[in-house]
Amino acid sequence: MEKKLLPLAAILLGSIMFGQVGINTTAPKSTLDIIAKTPTGSTTNADGVLIPRVDRQRALSMISVEPSTLIYVNDVSTGSATGQASNIDAMGFYHFDGSTSKWIKLNTDTNTNIYNANGTLTGNRVMSMADNSLIFRNGNEASLYVERSGTGNLQNGQNVANLYTSGYVGDTNKILSGIRTYYQGDGTNSSSSMKLTVNGSSNNNVVLAADNNVGIGTDSPTQKLDIDGIAKSRKIILGPSGYNYAGGTLNVRNNNASEYIMGLASSDNIFRVNVLDNGNVGIGTTDPTQKLDVNGNLRLRDIVPSSNIQDITLVADANGVIKKKKNEIKGIARAYLYNNRETGNTTGVIYRLNYFTQVDDPGNDFDHQEGYFVAPETGLYKITMTTSIKLTDPDTYNVPNAVVGFADSTTSNWVLRFSIPTDYIKGTYAANNTVGSATTFIGVAELQAGRAYFFGANHGLTFIANPSGGTGNGIGSFFEIQLIKN
């Protein structure tokens, strides 16, 4: 033993003289230089340095530990991860950090990065993607969080995070030339907003407010969608889900019968146009009672005139409600005799004229074959008879006793009659169409609705249908009925 210790003592003594200790070497290159006994080869002998091995309880219990002290924790089932052992959570090498007075685990993983370890950024960093894409992918749901540390309200103007894209504007690279998204506080817990800025502008283009309002062109949206500027849409559908329409349309569907489908208000917040749930439209009124209810003057421009008697007329009642009224010019009939008509010679008999050529009868009130006119309404009627007449039997009857007129078929009495002028020319019975006198008889009579009336004459007269003589023919006997008051 003495022979073996003397050389070792001499080696150590010699090394200590230089302030360095060498094991298995006579020329230590540091304060402690240990050379493996068998640095090469296939020997199975163990070489190395065994650091003191302790459990977590022992590491927790040490006092006055010098900084840089190195230990190996081989059991973490004892003690607790508190105090100076708060970082000891697994077996491994730990060194004592004097600045924190805690055991710090030696990082033996050469692949430590943001994918497998937490850390603190100590300065600005730039990651070059080298024309590659960065994709965040997860099997179920991918999440990317930007978290603001600290407690309390986010103060007015403070941002939680900013997401920038940059690009060149002219010859200058500007941060705001692309997209900037950030969450900005206003000093409360509930009214902070998400904001989006694009195209190199310092103004906010889109604002997502905490009250679910969205602003485009405004920082303070007051509605679910608040647009400050001109908006364009190919198709707008307003209403519950499940309704869709093709084409460039504006569709508004109401889901509450007590509210307007649509309303248009003026600058003083007065509704000028309203559409109710029942389909009524009001202009100048918020409570339209008709499909179109206009409170004020109404003007219709460029109305096309019509001469069609079957067209519908619009009329207004005492409340201004517009209604349609068919242009039934009731009680109008115009006709002329188809051929000469001769009356008989019996005294006291009214002979009915028939076989007319119809000119106008919009209400189908006149039977032009039989000569009956059925009054559509009770009222005053204007009766007009333009007649070319001659005496049929001048030898047996006098002109002053000849009568024409309008008679009631129910009572067989005249309702209107006219005497023949005394200057009518007497002629041979049915000799020809020569007319001695032509006269227009006009009168007014009250007719009863539903009753039949007819044009007639008493005995001894011939009504000329087509007078002849000179050049051409004409209408000799024309008859007209018109309701003038009901």
Opening angle at CA 140, ends 139 and 145, nearest 5: 100
Q: Is 172 exposed, middle or buried (0-12, 13-18, 19+ CB in 10 A)?
A: exposed
User: How is domain 333-485 classified at the architecture level of CATH?
Assistant: Sandwich (2.60)
By DSSP bridging, strand 322-326 and strand 333-337 are: unpaired
Task: Tell me the whole-structure pTM to 2 decimals.
Answer: 0.39
58, amino acid identity: R
Tally of residues, the chain = 486
Whole-angstrom Cα distance, residue 243 to residue 290?
27
Contact residues for 320 (Cβ-Cβ < 8 A; gap 6+) = none
% the chain with pLDDT above 70: 69
Domains of the chain, residue spans: 2-105, 159-227, 256-327, 333-485
Burial (Cβ within 10 Å: 0-12, 13-18, ≥19) of residue 32: exposed
DSSP helix/strand/coil, 162? strand
User: 468 with 325: CB under 8 angstroms?
Assistant: no
Digitized pLDDT (tens) for each residue of the chain, 486 residues in all: 444 444 555 445 444 555 788 888 888 888 888 888 888 989 888 888 899 999 999 999 999 999 999 999 999 999 999 999 999 999 999 999 999 999 999 876 666 677 777 777 778 888 888 888 887 777 777 676 666 665 555 555 566 666 666 655 555 555 444 455 555 555 555 556 667 766 555 667 787 777 788 888 887 888 888 888 888 776 666 666 666 666 656 667 777 777 777 788 888 888 888 888 888 998 989 889 888 889 888 888 888 877 665 667 778 888 878 887 765 566 789 998 888 888 877 777 899 999 999 888 888 899 999 999 999 999 999 999 988 877 765 544 555 567 899 999 999 999 999 887 665 544 443 445 555 557 889 999 999 999 999 999 987 788 888 766 545 556 678 899 999 887
